[in-house]
A and B are shown apart, each in its own frame.
Chain A
Amino acid sequence: MNIVSVLFVGVGGDGIITASNIVAQACMLAGYDVKKSEIHGMSQRGGSVSASVRFGDKVYSPTDKLGSVKYMLATEKIEMLRWVRYLNRGSVVVVNDRIVPIIGQTIDEDRIDNMVEQVQTKTLVKRKFLVDSEKLGNPRLSNTIMLGVLSNFLEIDEKYFHDAIDLILPEKLRTINQSAFSYGKNLIYDNTSGE
């Protein structure tokens, strides 16, 4: 099997390390070799951050190649756009429809939305996951809901995600994240590339 990449992008403190750990764990439980890369340090203070999970029969590089990322989970629109060179026409993108302000910059959201529209991948799910998250009673569930959405496309059995959530998250967060994952899994999309 060829190597499959899942790229997580966002802003420091966004929780992409946890989200990517869950996916990496699920891949291992499903019997794949997996490598993951993440960057700590300075960028965690609100800078751009990324993490990649790559799985397959045998994986060497923990980081991705331009144009070769099949799945992307973006917690914010500007960061999604920053990494478009890694995507291809067949990619599946799940992006949280929000913008995290940048100090000293005035951002024109319409312009950003316009750019997102130019990214014509096979599937692009853009949605205000924060609204879903609040509906579930906790504003910090967006990433897990997005993982649930993404899991519909990944060739990893659902049960491994549930096991991974139990293994990675502290006990008091498990139940609520399990439901957030299922909630995301059950959101049905007919939206293909916004065409």
Chain B
Amino acid sequence: MGLKIIKKILSGNQAISIGAYKGNARFASGYPGTPSSEILEHFKNYPNVIAQWAPNEKAGLEAALGASIAGVRSFATMKHVGLNVAADPLMTASYTGVNAGFVVVSADDPGMHSSQNEQDNRRYAKFAKVPLIEPSDPYEAMAFMQYAFVVSEKFDTPVILRSTTRISHSLGVVQFDPRTLDNEKELSLAKDFKKYVMIPANAIERHRVVIDRLAKLKEFSNQTPINKLEKGKTDFGIVTSSMAYNYVKELIPDANIFKVGFSYPMPGDKIREFAKDLNRVIVVEELEPFMEEELKIAGIEVEGKKYFPENGEFNLDIVEEGLKKAGVIRERATTVYFDGFELPKRPPALCPGCPHRPIFDILHSRKDVFITGDIGCYTLGCLPPLSAMHTTVCMGASISMGVGASKVQKEDKVVAIIGDSTFFHTGIQPLIDARINGANLTVIILDNRITAMTGGQPDPGSGFTLKGEEVNPIRIYELAKAIGIERVFEIDQYDYKATKELINREIDTDALSVIIPTRPCVLAPKRIKDRPLVVIPDKCVGCKRCLRIACPAIDFKNNKAIIDEFLCTGCEVCKNVCPVEGAIVHKEEK
């Protein structure tokens, strides 16, 4: 019987979702975050699977753990910083172990393409004493994801599958047969007091199990075929994993390479064997010296970070430079033929019509406020010319940092600004903090009813789910009221004047207040475009006030503002801030 083979170009994230399905995973939960979001967006399309967005990563990981204990292979997805939020359940899920296979997918972001830090989550595997699997391209992303469920069940442990931006968002040719794998054994819901109830008496026992398990995993790491020697001709050897492997392969095709796919615990014995006949061994790994440290602890002589940076994303040029520094290649093959030009940077900006824009324009004109910000599209309000945000640390930190800042000083009024998805993620408890500890704070919850930043995923206020099913949304207004906050206001921020009055009034009132601007995102779930506006050149005085709202649709030429009618959505913020009556009008009125 012929086997059907599918050959496709797939992204790493598509490949992970295929691997999960082939690995018989039937439940998945997660929280969006670049570069991980597309995994669940693909996975949801498979038949007979449950895929859902959780309000945050901790809830997502716990839901998947619950499904595993109930006998169904499951996984949770998140970006690297999401695992900080989910670290609490991860650390103890290591103790409980699993029933059906359970995988945590962490998508790291070396280079911070879309993140607030570039932490290396391989450290979590060691911290939680769980195995770590790292693919290096889409094909491996699929195969290793499937394999991760087998490892999870075989060793009764959560497994971390670590991707990076360059793996998740790179495409490659993948061939696979679409059959799915069966579970190791028939499973059903497990009620096992000693295993799943982590009171101290049980946890003390389980910690011993974890330590024994780690010893077995170490042995397994020396046997698994995903840790493999690629014999070459060089007198030196290279130990590498993940994306770095590709750069090494391309730069030194005939190198002796030890490719690590199962990177915690490290395959010490196998690498000791590999190193035996070589002059020297160099570890090439992105970000932290994780493998290097493990190998040194195992007493194997290796070099690594003395030649390569510990920060930033690798690429062919950086790896080539490091290999040259290490003396294993003589010359860099590169010639740069054209010098770079001095060019203006092109930072991202709020979209034309973005409902966040008027809020930042209003806040910009208050010089007596300290604005604690958060993470989302609205973080762009920190950039000039809007320049209306003084802190951004991690999701949910706006309100809680505002509590502290408003408690210890009275000179500046404090405004906390947060998006709806971020509010549901980790903003609710800080709002409770503000209410119960009596903070004098103006909280602005930008309710565009979508997780815009990461590509428009639904959140609990959207009214639909990952699978597109309608659901009764949670209203932030009612939530704030239920917490017992008296001053809660909804406002349509396209009504610029009324919004400005409300914000100013609440900043000047000594009380906790919550303002919820309610205009939806202009991009998702559907594109919104109204009649565009135009500038009447004769009336424009060239004052540039409209440029201060940082709208990509507005340009300035020959001392006059001009509006690109393709880009303009007709939101009227520019019209509202323009000091000349009738200089900006809707197109048809011209």
Q: Are B334 and A67 in contact (CB under 8 A)?
A: yes
**Which residues of chain A are near B7, meaning CB under 8 Å?**
28
Do A34 and B9 have beta carbons less than 8 Å apart?
A: yes
Q: Which of B7, B169, B333, B351 has the most CB of A within 10 A?
A: B169
In whole angstroms, what is the CA distance A44 to B555 when docked? 20
Q: What is the distance, in angstroms, from A115's C-beta to the closest C-beta of chain B? A: 5
- Within 8 Å of chain A (Cβ to Cβ): is B209? no
The reply to whether A88 and B343 contact each other, CB–CB distance below 8 Å, is: no
Contact A66 B349 (CB under 8 A): no
Query: Do A63 and B166 have beta carbons less than 8 Å apart?
Result: yes
Smallest CB-CB separation from A140: which chain B residue? B566
Given A67-B337, A84-B340, A85-B338: A45 and B173 interface contact (C-beta under 8 Å):
no
A46, A48, A60, A89 pick with most chain B CB within 10 angstroms: A60
* B555 A40 Cβ-Cβ under 8 A: no
Q: Is the CB of A115 within 8 A of B169?
A: no
A132 to chain B, nearest CB (A): 17
Given contacts A40-B169, A47-B347, A101-B552, whether A25 and B316 have CB atoms under 8 Å apart is no
A42's nearest neighbour on chain B, judged by CB, is B114
**Shortest CB distance B533–A (Å):** 16
Contact A42–B34 (Cβ < 8 Å): yes
**Distance of A44 Cα from B34 Cα, bound (Å):** 12
Closest to A55 in B: B173
- B334 touches which of A60, A61, A68, A102 (Cβ 8 Å): A68
Task: Point out the residue from A33, A78, A87, A88 that lies within 8 Å of B173, measured CB to CB.
Answer: A33
Instruction: Please name all residues of chain A whose beta carbon is closer than 8 Å to the beta carbon of B384 when the two chains form the complex.
Output: 104
Say whether B550 faces chain A, with CB atoms less than 8 Å apart. Answer: yes
Contact A36/B170 with A45-B377, A67-B337, A81-B341 known, Cβ cut-off 8 Å: yes
Q: How far is the CA of A172 from the CA of B454 in the complex (A)?
A: 27
Name the A residues within 8 Å of B347 (CB-CB). 47, 103
Given known A-B contacts A42-B114, A45-B377, A37 and B550 have beta carbons under 8 A apart: no
**Quick one: closest A residue to B344, CB to CB?**
A105
Known: A24-B9, A106-B556. A67 touches B335 (CB 8 A): yes
Do A11 and B338 form a contact, CB below 8 Å, given A40-B455, A45-B351, A101-B555?
no
Cβ distance A102 to chain B, nearest Cβ, rounded Å: 5
Partner of A45, one of B349, B547, B551, B555: B349
**Contact assessment for B166 and A102 in the assembled complex, using a CB-CB cutoff below 8 Å:** no
- Contact (A42, B348) CB under 8 Å given A60-B247, A84-B338: yes
Q: Chain B residues near A85: list those with CB within 8 A.
A: 336, 338-340
For A79, the chain B residues whose CB sits under 8 A away are 346
Q: How far is the CB of A49 from chain B (nearest CB, A)?
A: 9
**What chain B residues lie within 8 Å of A101 (beta carbons)?**
552, 555
Asked if B351 and A78 sit within 8 Å, CB to CB, the answer is: no
Q: Which residues of B contact A67 (CB under 8 A)?
A: 334-337
Q: Which residue of A lies closest to B347 (CB)?
A: A47
Residue of B nearest to A25 (CB): B9
Contacts of A15 in B (CB 8 A): none
Q: Is the CB of B550 within 8 A of A36?
A: no
The answer, yes or no, to whether B372 is at the interface (CB within 8 Å) is no
Check if B334 sits within 8 Å of A42, measured CB to CB: no
For residue A62, which residues in chain B have a CB less than 8 angstroms away from its CB? 137, 166, 170-172, 246
- Cβ contact within 8 Å between B341 and A35: no
In contact, B172 and A35 (Cβ under 8 angstroms): yes
Q: Nearest-CB distance from B15 to chain A (Å)?
A: 13
The answer to whether the Cβ of A173 comes within 8 Å of any Cβ in the partner chain is: no
Residue B350 is within 8 A (CB to CB) of chain A in the complex? yes
Contact residues in B for A35 (Cβ distance below 8 Å): 137, 170-172
List the A side residues contacting B349 at CB < 8 Å. 45-47, 103
**Do A38 and B166 touch across chains, with their CB atoms under 8 A apart?**
no
B11-37 CB contacts (< 8 Å) to partner A = 34-35
Kindly state the separation between the CA atoms of A36 and B174 in the bound complex, as whole angstroms: 13
Residues of A within 8 A of B446 (CB): none
A104 touches B547 (CB 8 A): yes
Chain A residue, CB-CB nearest to B566: A139
Range of interface residues on chain B? 35 or more
B348 touches A47 (CB 8 A): yes
User: Does residue A82 face the partner (Cβ distance < 8 Å to B)?
Assistant: yes
Given the interface contacts A28-B9, A40-B34, A81-B341, does A46 sit within 8 Å of B316 by beta carbon?
Answer: no
A65 at the interface (CB under 8 A from B): yes
Chain A contacts of B315 at CB under 8 A?
A: 61, 63, 65
For chain A, the count of residues having a C-beta within 8 Å of the partner chain is 53
User: B344 CB to closest chain A CB, in angstroms?
Assistant: 5
Within 8 A of A (CB), among B125-175: 137, 165-166, 169-173
| Interface: B438 (CB within 8 A) | no
Q: Chain A, 38-58, contact with B by CB distance < 8 Å: what is the 0/1 string? A: 111111111110000000000
Chain B residues with Cβ below 8 Å from A34 are: 9, 171-173
Query: A44: nearest residue on chain B (CB-CB)?
Result: B348
Contact of A60 among B165, B249, B351, B454 (CB under 8 A): B249
- B-side contacts of A187, CB under 8 Å: none
Q: Is the CB of B346 within 8 A of A102?
A: yes
| With A60-B249, A67-B335, A88-B335 as contacts: A11 and B454 at CB distance below 8 Å | no
B550 touches A60 (CB 8 A): no
- Report which of B34, B335, B336, B337 forms a contact with A41, defined as CB distance below 8 A: B34
- Does A12 have its Cβ within 8 Å of any Cβ on chain B? yes
Digitize B542-553: 1 where CB-to-A-CB distance is under 8 Å, 0 elsewhere. Answer: 000001001110
A64 on the interface (CB 8 Å rule)? Answer: yes
Closest chain-A Cβ to B552's Cβ sits at a distance in Å of 5
Give chain A residues whose Cβ lies under 8 Å from the Cβ of B338.
84-85, 87, 118-119
Q: Indicate if A131 sits at the interface (CB-CB under 8 A).
A: no
Q: What does the 1/0 interface line of B280-323 toward A look like (CB < 8 Å)?
A: 00000000000000000000000000000000000111001000
Smallest CB-CB separation from B319: which chain A residue? A61
Give the A-binding residues of B (Cβ under 8 A). Answer: 7, 9, 34-35, 113-114, 137, 165-166, 169-173, 245-247, 249-250, 315-317, 320, 333-341, 343-351, 377, 380, 384-385, 453-455, 547, 550-552, 555-556, 566
Q: Can you list 22 A-B contacts (CB < 8 A)?
A: A24-B9, A24-B171, A36-B9, A36-B170, A36-B171, A38-B171, A39-B169, A40-B169, A41-B35, A45-B349, A45-B350, A45-B377, A59-B172, A63-B166, A63-B316, A65-B320, A66-B317, A78-B343, A82-B343, A85-B339, A101-B552, A104-B384
- A34-B171, A42-B34, A85-B339 known, 12 other contacts, Cβ within 8 Å: A21-B171, A35-B172, A39-B165, A39-B169, A40-B169, A43-B348, A62-B246, A65-B334, A82-B341, A87-B337, A103-B547, A107-B344
Residues of A within 8 A of B (CB): 3, 11-12, 21, 24-25, 28, 33-48, 59-68, 78-79, 81-82, 84-85, 87-89, 101-107, 115, 118-119, 139
- Of all A-B residue pairs in the complex, the 10 with the closest CB atoms, nearest first, are A41-B114, A47-B348, A41-B34, A45-B348, A60-B246, A62-B170, A36-B171, A65-B316, A84-B338, A101-B555
